[in-house]
């Protein structure tokens, strides 16, 4: 397979499209969730007319706003809900002038200037705008608006349903890691790789966006994303703001997503629909065996909406309901189970099956295949458990009773079974809204959104009711009141509320507990956790027996949370100023229950009897883990912000946008005062009186939060928009944004101490038939913690931290062609400063070389002798009784904001709004993103690698995990010119057959994200428990000799040498005391963190929709639409990333130190095969 997504091809496609636009453009043309209409009223000479009466009317609802022009002849109608408007002006001695059909979009500020003609006011002049002025002459922010027609007519699907957020990937500047799999729409595919698919916009980090629905943030305070997923049916408009936005916006790394729900009008409108996908419609995956039957799958999405007047012109309603029902089964791997002889206790074939024989006393001739009695240590005759003096474990017999039995023989003592575990999910969404107009001065609305989902999956080892439950019950509501004091002064107040109840339950929850199998000593889980029968049925314990497929335990998570939002904004229009000022207060409440080993995890390896299954039969584990959490970790925090924004008309064709925002984010505090960090006192151990200790927050005078929040988060915003002549505008903008501590960095999140969450490690030989020695936290969470108790050096950071922020800047040019088409091109950049970094804060990895490379740039503390930090180590040993010191602080005492990023791009956009049966949106981005850490959550969220030398940030700087140099998207909608009211075949049978057809598509072509290579063959030898050894370069990995790049070999794996590298030369393994995993002759690898010239496969995808409208004789606007959506229409495989770890090949090793799978591709990403979705949609 040749890499079709090359830089040349992407640029060629984009240039070709730009040429098409420039040649054909003329022929193609033949504030938060509100909008603003503004303009200047002049007389025939061009002089401004003060005190002119302006009436702005929403055509759909009849609601009107009356105001006067100011001394400069300017009017500003603010806080208008999106829709179609009419503007009327009356001045004595002039004809009444009316501007019709002004379409107002979310966040837009169309300029509608009105030049009056001399005459009687009884005479009128009508100006038909036919569309909102689409040239952005008043603002300098960059954004993209998706209106109702694009949301409904472009092809889209995801596991979360047809949701507006899927269309985020159609905006300029968007990138997403290619290897990220999950659901989405054409152009990237949003889905399961982190929240909302690791999407980055113009250099921002994943999870740092803020999502606003009806003026209220629906962004969860920890993981980001969206608490509720409003449906396409419920949303009027969807907009993203991504650079140099108004000071009203904050708490983001550079991306604001704004959604506005539909309102009722003076006419009743509604819909009903159903969409279906199943395995019969879908093509096979590229790597799928065509001889194997497809796994069953069925996905149904159905619902409806209705809206209209309760009291015409005054009170309106809109509501919708959507349901998703999904079920199927996955293709399970071969499940390895013990055969009937082993299950009966006869392990004789362990000897004879491997070529051994028993002597007269029943001892195997192969010593390694002889099992021993766990009590006496003597050989068990003939490897038959019945001959042992130690009885078989009753717990093991209970486990064995639910362990699947059958299959065909695969090896000694092993059968292989095929199990296809089923899965199912249900989702219900409900989105009602009511709008009330008390008077021209007062407008009130209330909106409520629910998103309730339940998922059920099964382990490949079913066990007793082996169902795992995952729930997300989310709710959001907003109440807004807009009051107009005068035509120049207006106030907006909003109250928002959100509630999230998410959980992930272990297999067997609600059916069994460890006690069901005879395991004693593990406490019940919390009684308030759902599905657990008040804490008595918390699931099946995890059991792992070497050589077999065991019972997995996904851990338990239950996290109910609530958020409250209060905001108020005052708008004042005077002279050439449109001044807005206001503030917001947000309260976050999170209760977390997450003991990962609540029902226990037990491993059997053969460490006692010489055979893993024999250990299991006797109940002698190699190790076990149990976690106990007696209370919720109850975290609370407030966040506050103030802003002022002034849009100043410096001249008729020049507008200045100037603003300032201040943001204050509290650190979370825990209600029980159970958060705790261990402080090894190694920052400056010479300080008298400092001894290693536990910081228990809120206890003994210690502050109750984990850090001191910054009070200096100021965010200036400034921009200029210059409109030198009609149809052309130049814009420039700059701004700073702070994503905030809450949810966007480790230092803002408390960590439960051992009084809240306590783990017990069970040692080799522990017998699980006896009561397990499980430690239980004290009843008082504030009880003193012994200094040598469950110490984790990597869990401490100082109170002083530097807040992260992003600088955003752009310079763009926009040109309008005709009334419906714009072309925009510009430079867009960003710079991330003090970004959070995921690393072990207190590792002992300092070497003279890395100290010199670091250069001690922050002048935190002087470096100490390395690598063992003897002074601090001796003191820690003396005060805690440790026999080994794993790590201690050296050059950097736990500052988390050490990372930085730089983004540069050229972004171009072509936007033709729907006219003459055609619309098109195209975006091209040419960019580069550089950083030294791509996410504060590391590889789990960003497919990032953490870094091998934690104290040398320069060595970690490379192209980012999210770097995507070229990306082009094209989204046309075309109504075929046949049928009633069209140019051709507009009558007769042909009209009915060929009329009403509509085509739409989303085409995406993009380069792949960069590739990183690590090796874990040395174990945890960088002192931090992470596997990030990088190789030495002994050639060019991008050069493949004698062949072209293919799925079998994506890069030159012979150009990389791991033999002489190890992070932390000469360091003690932090996980195993005394284990020197590397010697001092080793060195850090010189390969970059990510290779700029080795990239994951890119995207070359076409999604296509074919739609047919059938007129229904039940009203002029009633129609039934049939749609057939084809995702990845050509069935072109989009390959996943290649294997990047030389120890993880999926073929037998081809040589001594590299696996044959190293550098090969074995799977596909989201666009792995064609998917077909059929739908019927009734509109009335």
Q: For the chain, what is the mean pLDDT?
A: 81
Enclosing H/E stretch for 12:
helix 7-28
Please tell me the predicted confidence (pLDDT) of residue 213.
93
Q: Does position 31 have pLDDT exceeding 60, yes or no?
A: no
For 678-692, give the secondary structure using H, E and C. Answer: EECCCCCCCCCCCCC
Query: CA-to-CA distance for 1138 and 1165, rounded, in angstroms?
Result: 11
Q: Which of 291, 377, 368, 385 is nearest to 331 (CA)?
A: 291
Please tell me the predicted confidence (pLDDT) of residue 764.
94
Domain count, the chain: 2
- Residue 534: C-alpha distances to residues 447, 472, 628, 685, 777 (Å): 35, 20, 16, 49, 20
Last residue of a domain, one of 128, 159, 175: 128
According to DSSP, the residues that pair with 42 across neighbouring strands are 48, 115
Question: For the CA atoms of 1136, 1137, 1140, 1145, what is the dihedral angle to 10 degrees?
Answer: 20
Q: Which of 691, 856, 666, 633 is nearest to 747 (CA)?
A: 666
Query: CA-to-CA distance for 56 and 71, rounded, in angstroms?
Result: 19
Per-residue pLDDT tens digits for 974-1013: 999 888 878 787 777 777 788 889 999 999 999 988 988 8
Question: For the CA atoms of 146, 149, 153, 154, what is the dihedral angle to 10 degrees?
Answer: -20
For 607, residues 6+ apart whose C-beta sits below 8 A from its C-beta are: 615, 622, 764, 765
CATH number at residue 58: 2.60.40.1120
For residue 400, the SS3 value is helix
Cβ–Cβ < 8 Å for 760, 626: yes
Give, rounded to a whole angstrom, the gap between the first and last alpha carbons of the chain.
49
For residue 10, the SS3 value is helix
Comparing 13-17, 95-99, 173-177, 1074-1078, the range with the smallest average pLDDT is 1074-1078
Comparing 144-158, 309-323, 604-618, the range with the smallest average pLDDT is 144-158
For residue 18, the SS3 value is helix
Last residue of a domain, one of 128, 157, 180: 128
Tally the C-alpha atoms within 13 A of residue 595's C-alpha that lie toward its C-beta.
31
Query: CA-to-CA distance for 740 and 743, rounded, in angstroms?
Result: 8
Please tell me the predicted confidence (pLDDT) of residue 945.
47
Q: Which of 414, 417, 433 is nearest to 476 (CA)?
A: 433
Higher-confidence residue of 595 and 420: namely 595
For 844, residues 6+ apart whose C-beta sits below 8 A from its C-beta are: 866, 867, 868, 869, 885, 886, 887, 888, 890, 1023, 1067, 1068, 1070
Phi, psi of 728 (to 5 degrees): -150, 135
Residue matched to tokens 């028993």: 358
Going by DSSP bridges, is the β-strand pair 210-213/256-261 parallel, antiparallel, or unpaired? parallel
User: Considering the domain boundaries, does residue 45 fall inside one?
Assistant: yes
Cβ–Cβ < 8 Å for 230, 271: no
Going by DSSP bridges, is the β-strand pair 633-651/577-592 parallel, antiparallel, or unpaired? antiparallel
Please tell me the predicted confidence (pLDDT) of residue 832.
93
Q: Which of 925, 803, 1138, 971 is nearest to 154 (CA)?
A: 971
Query: CA-to-CA distance for 381 and 404, rounded, in angstroms?
Result: 28
User: Considering the domain boundaries, does residue 447 fall inside one?
Assistant: no
How many Cβ atoms are within 10 Å of 611's Cβ, its own excluded? 26
Is 286 exposed, middle or buried (CB count within 10 Å of its CB: 0-12, 13-18, 19+)?
A: middle
Phi, psi of 437 (to 5 degrees): -105, 100
In total, the chain counts a number of residues equal to: 1180
Question: For the CA atoms of 152, 154, 157, 162, what is the dihedral angle to 10 degrees?
Answer: -20
Is 617 exposed, middle or buried (CB count within 10 Å of its CB: 0-12, 13-18, 19+)?
A: buried
User: Considering the domain boundaries, does residue 355 fall inside one?
Assistant: yes
Higher-confidence residue of 1079 and 8: namely 8
Give me 258's structure tokens: 């704004």
Phi-psi region of 473 (alpha: psi -120 to 50; beta: other; left: phi over 0): beta
Q: What does the longest C-alpha to C-alpha distance in the chain come to?
A: 124
How many Cβ atoms are within 10 Å of 357's Cβ, its own excluded? 10
Q: Which of 253, 331, 258 is nearest to 942 (CA)?
A: 253
User: Considering the domain boundaries, does residue 1104 fall inside one?
Assistant: no
Per-residue pLDDT tens digits for 1128-1138: 999 988 888 88
Residue matched to tokens 């338990």: 556
Last residue of a domain, one of 365, 397, 418: 418
Per-residue pLDDT tens digits for 870-893: 333 344 334 433 333 333 444 445
pLDDT band at 1041 (very low <50, low <70, confident <90, very high): low
Residue matched to tokens 């009128």: 124
Per-residue pLDDT tens digits for 649-665: 999 899 999 999 999 99
Residue matched to tokens 């009806």: 214
Cβ–Cβ < 8 Å for 1119, 1108: no
Phi, psi of 610 (to 5 degrees): 100, -5
Query: CA-to-CA distance for 234 and 161, rounded, in angstroms?
Result: 13
User: Considering the domain boundaries, does residue 136 fall inside one?
Assistant: no
For residue 722, the SS3 value is strand
For 446, residues 6+ apart whose C-beta sits below 8 A from its C-beta are: 433, 434, 477, 478, 479, 480
Query: CA-to-CA distance for 729 and 720, rounded, in angstroms?
Result: 10
DSSP assignments along 119-171, one per residue: S-TTSEEEEE-SS---S--S---EEEEE-HHHHHHS----TT-S-GGGGGGGS
Query: Angle CA(743)–CA(671)–CA(213) in degrees, nearest 5?
Result: 35
Q: Does position 1127 have pLDDT exceeding 80, yes or no?
A: yes
Q: Which of 802, 913, 819 is nearest to 860 (CA)?
A: 802
According to DSSP, the residues that pair with 335 across neighbouring strands are 417
Query: CA-to-CA distance for 555 and 539, rounded, in angstroms?
Result: 9
Comparing 374-388, 778-792, 1108-1122, the range with the smallest average pLDDT is 778-792
Please tell me the predicted confidence (pLDDT) of residue 2.
44
Q: Does position 320 have pLDDT exceeding 80, yes or no?
A: yes
Q: Does position 402 have pLDDT exceeding 80, yes or no?
A: yes
502-508: average pLDDT: 86
For 56, residues 6+ apart whose C-beta sits below 8 A from its C-beta are: 37, 64, 65, 66, 67, 77, 80, 85, 86, 87, 88
Please tell me the predicted confidence (pLDDT) of residue 194.
40
Enclosing H/E stretch for 875:
helix 870-880
1137-1159: average pLDDT: 57
Residue matched to tokens 């054909």: 24
Going by DSSP bridges, is the β-strand pair 83-90/53-58 parallel, antiparallel, or unpaired? antiparallel
In terms of DSSP H, where are the helices of 1067-1144? none
Q: Does position 686 have pLDDT exceeding 50, yes or no?
A: no
Specify which of 426-430, 438-442, 854-858 reaches the highest per-range mean pLDDT. 426-430
Share of the chain above pLDDT 70, in %: 78
Domain that holds residue 100: 35-128
């Amino acid at each position: 397979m040749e890499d079709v997504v090359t830089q040349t091809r992407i640029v060629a496609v984009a240039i070709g499209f730009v040429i098409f636009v420039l040649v054909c453009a003329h022929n193609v043309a033949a504030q938060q969730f509100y909008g603003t209409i503004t303009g200047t009223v002049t007389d025939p000479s061009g002089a401004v007319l003060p005190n002119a009466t302006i009436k702005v009317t929403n055509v759909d609802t009849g609601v009107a706003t009356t105001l006067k022009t100011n001394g400069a002849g300017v009017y500003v109608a603010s806080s208008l809900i999106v829709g179609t408007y009419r503007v009327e002006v009356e001045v004595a001695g002039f004809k009444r002038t009316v501007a019709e059909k002004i379409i107002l979009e979310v966040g837009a500020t169309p300029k509608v200037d009105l030049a009056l003609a001399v005459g009687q006011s009884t005479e009128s002049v009508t100006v038909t705008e036919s569309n909102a002025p689409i040239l952005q002459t008043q603002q300098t922010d960059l954004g993209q608006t998706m209106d109702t027609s694009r949301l409904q007519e472009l092809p889209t699907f995801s596991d979360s349903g047809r949701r507006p957020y899927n269309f985020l990937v159609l905006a300029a500047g968007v990138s997403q890691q290619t290897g990220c799999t999950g659901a989405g729409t054409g152009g990237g595919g949003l889905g399961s790789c982190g929240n909302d698919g690791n999407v980055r916009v113009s250099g921002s980090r994943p999870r740092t966006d803020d999502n606003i629905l009806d003026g209220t943030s629906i962004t969860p305070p920890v993981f980001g994303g969206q608490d509720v997923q409003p449906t396409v049916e419920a949303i009027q408009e969807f907009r993203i703001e991504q650079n140099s936005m108004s000071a009203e916006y904050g708490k983001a790394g550079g991306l604001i997503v704004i959604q506005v729900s539909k309102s009722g009008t003076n006419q009743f409108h509604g819909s009903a629909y159903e969409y279906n996908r199943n395995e019969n419609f879908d093509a096979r995956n590229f790597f799928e065996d065509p001889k194997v039957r497809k796994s069953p799958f069925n996905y149904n999405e159905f619902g409806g909406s209705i809206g209209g007047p309760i009291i015409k012109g005054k009170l309106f309603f809109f509501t919708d309901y959507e349901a998703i029902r999904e079920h199927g089964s996955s293709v399970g791997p071969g499940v390895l189970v013990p055969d009937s002889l082993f299950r009966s206790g006869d392990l004789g074939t362990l000897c004879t099956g491997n070529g051994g024989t028993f002597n007269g006393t029943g001892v195997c001739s192969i010593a390694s295949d002889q099992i021993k009695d766990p009590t006496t240590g003597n050989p068990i005759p003939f490897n038959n458990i019945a001959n042992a003096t130690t009885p078989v474990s009753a717990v093991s017999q209970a486990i064995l009773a639910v362990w699947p039995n059958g299959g065909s023989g695969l090896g000694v003592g092993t059968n292989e079974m095929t199990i296809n575990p089923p899965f199912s999910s249900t989702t219900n969404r409900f989105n009602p809204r009511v709008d009330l107009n008390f008077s021209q001065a007062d407008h009130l609305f209330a909106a409520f959104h629910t998103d309730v989902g339940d998922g059920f999956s099964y382990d490949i080892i079913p066990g007793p009711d082996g169902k795992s439950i995952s729930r997300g019950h989310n709710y959001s509501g907003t109440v807004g009141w807009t009051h107009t004091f005068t035509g120049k002064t207006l106030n907006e107040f909003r109250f928002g509320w959100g509630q999230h109840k998410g959980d992930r339950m272990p297999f067997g929850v609600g059916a069994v507990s460890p006690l069901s199998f005879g395991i004693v000593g593990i406490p019940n889980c919390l009684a308030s956790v759902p599905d657990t029968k008040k804490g008595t049925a918390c699931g099946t314990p995890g059991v792992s027996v070497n050589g077999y497929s065991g019972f997995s335990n996904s851990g338990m998570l239950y996290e109910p949370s609530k958020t409250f939002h209060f905001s108020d904004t005052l708008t004042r229009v005077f002279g050439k100023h449109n001044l807005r000022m206001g503030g917001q207060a947000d309260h976050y409440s999170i209760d977390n229950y997450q003991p990962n080993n609540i029902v226990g995890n037990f491993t059997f390896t053969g460490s006692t009897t010489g055979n893993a299954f024999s250990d299991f039969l006797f109940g002698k584990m190699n190790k076990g883990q149990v976690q106990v959490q007696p209370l919720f970790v109850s975290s609370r925090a407030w966040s506050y912000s103030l802003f002022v924004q002034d849009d100043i008309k410096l001249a008729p064709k020049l507008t200045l946008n100037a603003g300032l925002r201040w943001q204050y984010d509290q650190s979370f505090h825990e209600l029980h005062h159970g958060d705790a960090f261990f402080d090894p006192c190694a920052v400056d151990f010479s300080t008298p009186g400092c001894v290693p200790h536990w910081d228990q927050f809120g206890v003994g005078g210690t502050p109750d939060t984990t850090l001191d929040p910054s009070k200096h988060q100021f965010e200036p915003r400034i921009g200029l928009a210059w409109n030198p002549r009609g149809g052309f505008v130049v814009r420039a903008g700059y701004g700073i944004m702070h994503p905030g501590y809450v949810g966007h960095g480790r230092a803002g999140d408390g960590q439960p101490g051992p009084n809240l969450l306590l783990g017990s490690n069970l040692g080799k030989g522990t017998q699980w038939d006896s009561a397990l020695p499980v430690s239980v936290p004290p009843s008082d969470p504030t009880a003193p913690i012994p200094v040598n108790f469950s110490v984790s050096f990597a869990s401490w950071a100082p109170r002083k931290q530097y807040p992260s922020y992003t600088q955003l800047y752009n310079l763009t040019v926009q040109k309008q062609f005709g009334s419906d088409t714009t072309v925009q091109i510009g430079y867009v950049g960003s710079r991330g400063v003090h970004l959070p970094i995921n690393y072990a804060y207190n590792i002992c990895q300092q070497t003279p070389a890395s100290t010199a490379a670091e250069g001690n740039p922050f002048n935190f503390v002087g470096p100490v002798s390395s690598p063992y930090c003897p002074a601090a180590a001796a003191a820690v040993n003396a005060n805690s009784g440790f026999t080994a010191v794993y790590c201690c602080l050296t050059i950097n005492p736990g500052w988390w904001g050490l990372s930085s990023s730089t983004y540069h791009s050229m972004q171009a956009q072509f936007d033709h709004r729907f006219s003459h049966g055609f619309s098109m949106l195209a975006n091209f981005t040419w960019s580069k993103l550089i950083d030294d850490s791509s996410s504060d959550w590391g590889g789990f969220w960003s497919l990032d690698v953490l870094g091998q030398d934690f104290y040398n940030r320069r060595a970690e700087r490379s192209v980012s995990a999210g770097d995507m140099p070229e990306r082009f998207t094209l989204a046309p909608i075309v109504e075929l010119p046949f049928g009633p009211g069209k140019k051709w075949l507009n009558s007769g049978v042909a009209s009915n057959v060929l009329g009403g057809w509509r085509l739409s598509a989303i085409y995406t072509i993009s380069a792949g994200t960069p590739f990183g290579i690590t090796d874990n063959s040395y174990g945890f030898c960088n002192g931090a428990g992470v596997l990030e050894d990088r190789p030495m370069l002994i050639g060019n990995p991008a050069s493949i000799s004698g062949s072209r790049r293919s799925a079998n070999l994506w890069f030159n794996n012979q150009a990389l040498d791991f033999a002489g590298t190890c992070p932390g030369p000469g360091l003690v393994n932090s996980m195993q005391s005394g284990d020197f995993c590397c010697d001092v002759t080793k060195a850090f690898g010189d390969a970059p963190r990510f290779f700029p010239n080795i990239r994951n496969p890119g995207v070359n995808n076409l999604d296509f929709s074919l739609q047919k409208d059938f007129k229904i004789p039940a009203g002029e606007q009633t129609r039934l639409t049939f749609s057939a959506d084809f995702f990845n229409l050509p069935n072109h495989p989009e390959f996943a990333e290649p294997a990047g770890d030389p120890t993880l090949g999926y073929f037998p090793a081809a040589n001594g130190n590299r696996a044959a799978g190293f550098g090969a591709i074995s799977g596909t990403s989201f666009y792995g095969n064609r998917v077909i979705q059929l739908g019927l949609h009734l509109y009335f």
